[in-house]
């Protein structure tokens, strides 16, 4: 019989997303479905889900969900796309709000969501072989499945997988809402208890039969105090069920040969279009179009773990030394937004700070970029370095998490053959970032080498092909 998997997560591209989690939940299911797996995905029906998709949805069920003393309406809608079925949990009180998370009652909202996911199964007549939950917002689905539903024979056979996309966000709450909001009893207390509070991610690690994270290096890193944000004790205890599987990117969507927003298409062998993309972006941003000057870019959430402190320290020196232009796209912490806006004011001929999240614009920038900086302090996987490579932008990354697993350092052997697919450094220092960025720029300025290297990085395989097989092997092991 065909295996069936239910993905549970808080954001899914293209319906509603804020970052990498949405990318993965929007592309891994398609890759699994292409290999013959019955994959379904469930997410909340936020206001952000557009009319275009709502118009295609079909109502599957409607029932009352109980969360402690609360009784809440639950509607389930569905939609088919590329052999994957997507379910949407409808409740306007919880999800008809601006934005996805960051609300005062997120704990309750996702407790409701996880309850609704388990309650919907008999209503839609589907009990998956595996429930695969992602990040803290979905953690309770794994906890509830084991603690509250496993006595019910319809649920008893469902295997439980939990994936950590970022260990920094764990879902921590005070104990006094254990029963009242999370509808857990004193007997469940030990399962979610960690460091004197409720920790939903810890609960899922405890209750899952397999825990994965999004690169092998990160799987190793989170066993240490430095990277685990406090969870290393529990991860070490369960080390035998923890593994790392590197993410891929959606090769149909991120394709400079077909991407509809680019000024001109290009491919590894026919790269001329990249120059046209650079010129077009410069024209839009009112930057000088000089082919001897590279464009360096940063496309990122402006959060501290993205390494922005060392960027701030190194960037003036880099611009002075290389003569490059800098384009920044992203929003986030005020201090970084202000830093980049001030840098643009200081160097209006060289710097553009675009303080926004815009996927179409991001791809036009990738296409226009020569050197892509990603010096993260920590990075579970990172997708931007892969997208940058596919768009022919040379990555400069710090050797951490998925950055270390996907970008290997450039070097030349005695015969002049090139190895690696980017510029990397180990220490979290402005000096190393400066030095590697200047080195990448020097390679770019050498026309012959640039040609060979850009072609090489564009052909590295960052598709889901290999990793989808690893998930299938994991599912098979559990079944
Ligand atoms: C999170 C991580 C990022 C990863 C993404 C998808 O956003 O911070 O490194 O690529 O999840 O797994």
What is the reported pLDDT for 246?
A: 98
* Pocket perturbation via mutation, ligand 1, pick of 11, 12, 13, 21 by most ligand atoms within 8 A of CB: 21
pLDDT single digits (tens) 331-390? 999 999 999 999 999 999 999 999 999 999 999 999 999 999 999 999 999 999 999 999
pTM of the model: 0.95
Instruction: Write down the number of H helices and E strands in the chain.
Output: 20, 20
pLDDT single digits (tens) 130-189? 999 999 999 999 999 999 999 999 999 999 999 999 999 999 999 999 999 999 999 999
pLDDT single digits (tens) 192-237? 999 999 999 999 999 999 999 999 999 999 999 999 999 999 999 9
Confidence of residue 317 (pLDDT cuts 50, 70, 90): very high
What's the CATH class of domain 4-248+464-478? alpha beta
- Ligand 1, atom 12, residue with closest C-alpha: 165
State which fold the 272-458 domain adopts: Rossmann fold (3.40.50)
What is the reported pLDDT for 1?
A: 57
Token reading at 457: 């990085």
If one counts every other C-beta atom within 10 angstroms of the C-beta of residue 138, the result is 29
Q: Ligand 1: distance of its center to the CA of 200 in Å?
A: 18
Mean pLDDT of the chain: 97
What is the reported pLDDT for 41?
A: 98
CA nearest to 435, candidates 373, 360, 342, 348: 373
Q: Which residues pair with 160 in a beta bridge?
A: 131
**Strand-by-strand arrangement of the 130-134 sheet:** 58-67, 70-81, 84-90, 38-44, 4-8, 130-134, 159-164, 210-213, 242-244
Q: Residue holding tokens 């993965």?
A: 24
Give, for 316, the enclosing helix (H) or strand (E): helix 308-322
Mean pLDDT of 443-471: 96
Pairing mode of beta strands 394-398, 423-425: parallel
Q: Return d(Cα 113, Cα 45) in angstroms, integer.
A: 10
Contacts of 242 (CB under 8 A, 6+ apart): 211, 212, 213, 219, 223, 235
Q: Residue holding tokens 């003569």?
A: 323
Q: Return d(Cα 306, Cα 295) in angstroms, integer.
A: 20
Pairing mode of beta strands 159-164, 130-134: parallel
Q: Return d(Cα 61, Cα 63) in angstroms, integer.
A: 7
What is the reported pLDDT for 2?
A: 76
Q: Residue holding tokens 């611009």?
A: 319
Mean pLDDT of 421-443: 98
Cβ atoms of 21 and 138 within 8 Å: the answer is no
What dihedral angle (degrees, nearest 10) is formed by the CA atoms of 196, 201, 206, 209?
A: 180
* Packing angle of the helix pair 308-322, 334-346 (nearest 10 deg): 10
The CA-atom distances, in angstroms, between 442 and each of 100, 229, 377, 426, 446 are 42, 38, 25, 20, 7
- Ligand 1, atom 5, residue with closest C-alpha: 20
Cβ atoms of 438 and 424 within 8 Å: the answer is no
Contacts of 397 (CB under 8 A, 6+ apart): 374, 375, 376, 382, 385, 403, 404, 407, 422, 423, 424
pLDDT higher than 70, residue 321: yes
Cβ atoms of 372 and 366 within 8 Å: the answer is yes
Q: Return d(Cα 204, Cα 350) in angstroms, integer.
A: 47
Q: Ligand 1: distance of its center to the CA of 17 in Å?
A: 12
Q: Ligand 1: distance of its center to the CA of 284 in Å?
A: 30
Q: Return d(Cα 9, Cα 168) in angstroms, integer.
A: 17
Mean pLDDT of 433-461: 97
Q: Ligand 1: distance of its center to the CA of 227 in Å?
A: 14
Q: Where are the domains of the chain?
A: 4-248+464-478, 272-458
Please state the length of the chain: 479
Token reading at 458: 């564009």
Which residues contact ligand 1 via a Cβ below 6 A? 19-21, 24, 165-166, 214, 247, 379-383, 402
Give, for 191, the enclosing helix (H) or strand (E): helix 189-192
Q: Which atom of ligand 1 is nearest to the CA of 247?
A: 12
Mean pLDDT of 78-95: 97
Q: Ligand 1: distance of its center to the CA of 381 in Å?
A: 5
């Amino acid at each position: 019989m065909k295996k069936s998997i239910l993905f549970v997560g808080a954001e899914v591209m293209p319906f509603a997303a804020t970052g990498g989690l949405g990318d993965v939940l929007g592309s891994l299911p398609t890759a699994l479905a292409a290999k013959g797996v019955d994959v379904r995905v469930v997410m909340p029906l936020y206001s952000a889900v557009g009319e275009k998709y709502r118009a295609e949805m079909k109502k599957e069920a409607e029932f009352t969900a109980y969360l402690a003393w609360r009784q809440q309406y639950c509607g389930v809608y569905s939609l088919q796309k590329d052999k994957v079925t997507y379910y949407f949990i409808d409740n306007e009180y919880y999800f008809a709000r601006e934005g996805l998370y960051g609300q005062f009652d997120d704990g309750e909202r996702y407790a409701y969501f996880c309850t609704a996911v388990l309650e919907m199964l008999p209503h839609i007549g589907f009990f998956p072989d595996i429930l695969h939950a992602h990040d803290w917002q979905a953690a309770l689905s794994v906890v509830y499945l084991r603690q509250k539903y496993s006595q019910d024979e319809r649920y008893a056979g469902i295997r439980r997988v939990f994936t950590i996309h970022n260990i920094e966000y764990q879902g921590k709450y005070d104990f006094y809402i254990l029963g009242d909001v999370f509808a857990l009893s004193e007997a469940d207390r030990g399962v979610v208890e960690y460091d004197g509070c409720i920790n939903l991610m810890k609960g899922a690690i405890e209750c899952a039969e397999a825990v994965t994270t999004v690169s092998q290096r990160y799987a190793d890193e989170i066993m240490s105090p430095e990277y685990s944000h406090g969870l290393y004790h529990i991860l070490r205890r369960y080390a035998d069920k923890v593994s790392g599987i590197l993410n891929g990117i959606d090769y149909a969507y991120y394709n400079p040969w077909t991407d509809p927003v680019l000024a001109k298409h290009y491919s590894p062998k026919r790269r001329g279009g990249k120059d046209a993309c650079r010129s077009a972006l410069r024209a839009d941003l009112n930057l000088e179009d000089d082919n001897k000057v590279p464009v360096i870019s940063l496309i990122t959430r402006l959060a501290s773990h993205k390494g922005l402190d060392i960027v701030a320290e190194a960037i003036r020196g880099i611009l002075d030394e290389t003569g490059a232009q800098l384009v920044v796209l992203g929003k986030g912490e005020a201090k970084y937004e202000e830093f980049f806006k001030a840098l643009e004011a200081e160097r209006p001929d060289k710097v553009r700070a675009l303080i926004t999240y815009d996927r179409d614009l991001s791809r036009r920038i990738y296409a226009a970029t020569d050197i892509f900086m990603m010096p993260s302090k920590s990075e579970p996987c990172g997708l931007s370095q892969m997208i940058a490579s596919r768009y022919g932008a040379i990555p400069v990354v710090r050797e951490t998490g998925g950055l270390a697993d996907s970008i290997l350092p450039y070097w030349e052997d005695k015969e002049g053959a090139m190895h690696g697919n980017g510029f990397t450094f180990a220490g979290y220092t402005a000096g190393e970032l400066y030095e590697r960025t200047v080195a990448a720029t020097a390679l770019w300025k050498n026309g012959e080498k640039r040609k060979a290297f850009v072609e090489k990085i564009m052909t590295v395989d960052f598709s889901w092909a290999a990793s989808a097989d690893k998930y299938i092997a994991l599912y098979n092991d559990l079944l």
